[in-house]
Structure 1
């Protein structure tokens, strides 16, 4: 019997047989990821209101770095450590996107474009160096560093897109939730019916979970005068934190299984 959360292994000539350091994109993965995006938005909003903005950003950056270092030193997938890192990326990614707009005065369209270009550059460098963007092939520190650079990019881009739609274009939070819920169905349906590649479909959906979750958090937390429910960012953050904890601690063990090098081609 495999031990609890035993890592899957990949047969890859470049790294040998090594444990995969990130989770499979299962239904639970996507639910936990969506909760992390809403949590990041709510925690960022709450911290900015209860702390001086500069202090909040510095604390967010410090927590992000600490969580990421902890994750990188595990060398295998540990659910609690991995999702803590994702949550801290959510908080810091939100702050980074907000700083670009508030502190630097960049329009949402400009910041979204800039983050999109940066994310494309990460993917290009990752592909040229490793020959794969598959999450099933994250078996070395270098690959994991590329993975987390892409994750940070998706959070920043997703935050900017969400703000652009809800605030810049004036759609509001409810309409934004509906829009991104529809858009996130595109990679799922494309993968199932239109032969979207699994790697493309994964990262497409990964970007869109951010504005979807953030729009939900804003809708729940913002006051009614701004189109929200008015629960407050603190309560929304607490609720999604509890949801994430419940999802992580109840994650079922997985059996160790072999994956072949064809995963490097997205299969």
Structure 2
């Protein structure tokens, strides 16, 4: 790694209306780019790009904006994020993943789901940086995705920003109760605080083994993540920063009480 290597980021992208909401998380995303050099490209592992049995890498030169949600404000469905893709980078990532033992393939006609375009529209509103999406596998756990991130570790030294886009906690059943009531700001229950406290402590200590085994070790793991897919991008980002990466919590807020919008930055060790 060079001293100018990009960090990898884990972003909690939240509800699709984060793109238009006046929230702490949206405010942080709007200033995110100010703390980084301009990347030559962005690679996003999104919780909403799910592929079982392999890894898909978007190779479309002109990806469409996918409105993969329902019941939100009409203006959200009119929003576009016309950033270009980068087929050459997609093929290179595919080759690197295959060399690392992953059954990977570049795919066309894969647009930007809201896990990709919502945070990028806030952070990079000009949509002038090429973006490549990488899938997660809902049937594979943290170890698989940590190793997937490791296969992307050279990208940061080449001016590519790797982002894992998911959610630090993701119990939608609990969140929808307050969402339907229009209550975005609510008290954070103890079972969320205990889980996020455990995760934050292990991330700060770079305790990768414990983090990979979070479903057994973390308090209230299954309640905070009934399914894995929204936490898996965290492991991609952690792996992409390389061994011994320095972890920094860069944002911490909550929405609907149970959706932790925590964001982490992983800086590679300079060599």
Q: Same fold (TM over 0.5)?
A: no
TM-score (norm 1): 0.32
TM-score (norm 2): 0.31
Q: Which has the larger radius of gyration?
A: 1
The structure with the largest helix share of the pair is 1
